[in-house]
């Protein structure tokens, strides 16, 4: 737990800090994508494949999560497959669909690249009480839902 009380912050300061975090993460994802030989959208899709683990996602489910068309997702999956990050497997329940599986060597590379960062985040989270973590988790989830809803509204207006 932290030894010193946290400094007060205004909503504007918190918003600025959030914007800086997002910008830093965007730049970091771009750099990580370059190291992996991919683009940011492809890395994001691969992240969803990793997150799903053994519950293999369909191409359509990935397209929904990344908010791209199924045609665009086909291009993403083609690039990921050519680069050796994923394989496509027929869906046993519906042969017209494919499920996407991560290639073990690609999983190992992603872990090697991201684990040092996640270890530091784990140390940072350890500085927060369970109650504070609950607030952070609530905020992250609600902000994500808000951002998704805003993006969807904006997309419909175009």
Range 96-101 average pLDDT: 90
Per the CB < 8 A criterion, the answer to whether 56 and 100 are in contact is yes
Q: Please check whether residue 131 lies inside any domain of the structure.
A: no
- Inside any domain, residue 125: no
Q: What pTM was computed for the model?
A: 0.84
DSSP designation for 8 = P
Say which CATH number the domain at 73 has: 1.10.10.10
Whether 91 is in a domain gets the answer yes
Q: Model confidence over 55-69: pLDDT tens digits?
A: 899 999 999 998 889
Give me the domain span that covers residue 31.
23-105
Each as own residue / partner, the long-range contacts of residues 113-122 (CB below 8 Å, 24 or more positions apart, any chain) are: 113/32, 113/35, 113/36, 114/32
Judge whether 62 lies within some domain: yes
Per the prediction, the chain carries an average pLDDT of 93
Question: Quick check: 105 pLDDT over 70?
Answer: yes
Number of domains composing the chain: 1
Structure tokens at 89: 């497997």
């Amino acid at each position: 737990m932290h030894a010193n009380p946290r400094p007060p912050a205004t909503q504007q300061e918190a918003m600025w800090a959030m914007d800086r975090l997002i910008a830093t993460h965007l730049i970091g994802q771009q750099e990580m994508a370059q190291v992996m030989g991919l683009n940011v959208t492809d890395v994001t899709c691969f992240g969803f494949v990793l997150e799903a683990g053994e519950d293999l996602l369909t191409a359509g489910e990935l397209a929904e999560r990344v908010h791209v068309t199924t045609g665009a997702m086909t291009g993403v999956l083609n690039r990921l497959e050519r680069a050796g990050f994923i394989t496509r497997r027929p869906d046993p329940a519906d042969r017209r669909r494919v499920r996407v599986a991560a290639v073990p060597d690609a999983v190992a590379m992603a872990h090697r690249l991201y684990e040092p960062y996640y270890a530091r985040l784990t140390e940072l989270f350890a500085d927060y009480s369970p109650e504070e973590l609950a607030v952070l988790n609530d905020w992250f989830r609600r902000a994500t839902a808000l951002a998704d809803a805003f993006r969807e509204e904006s997309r419909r207006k175009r």
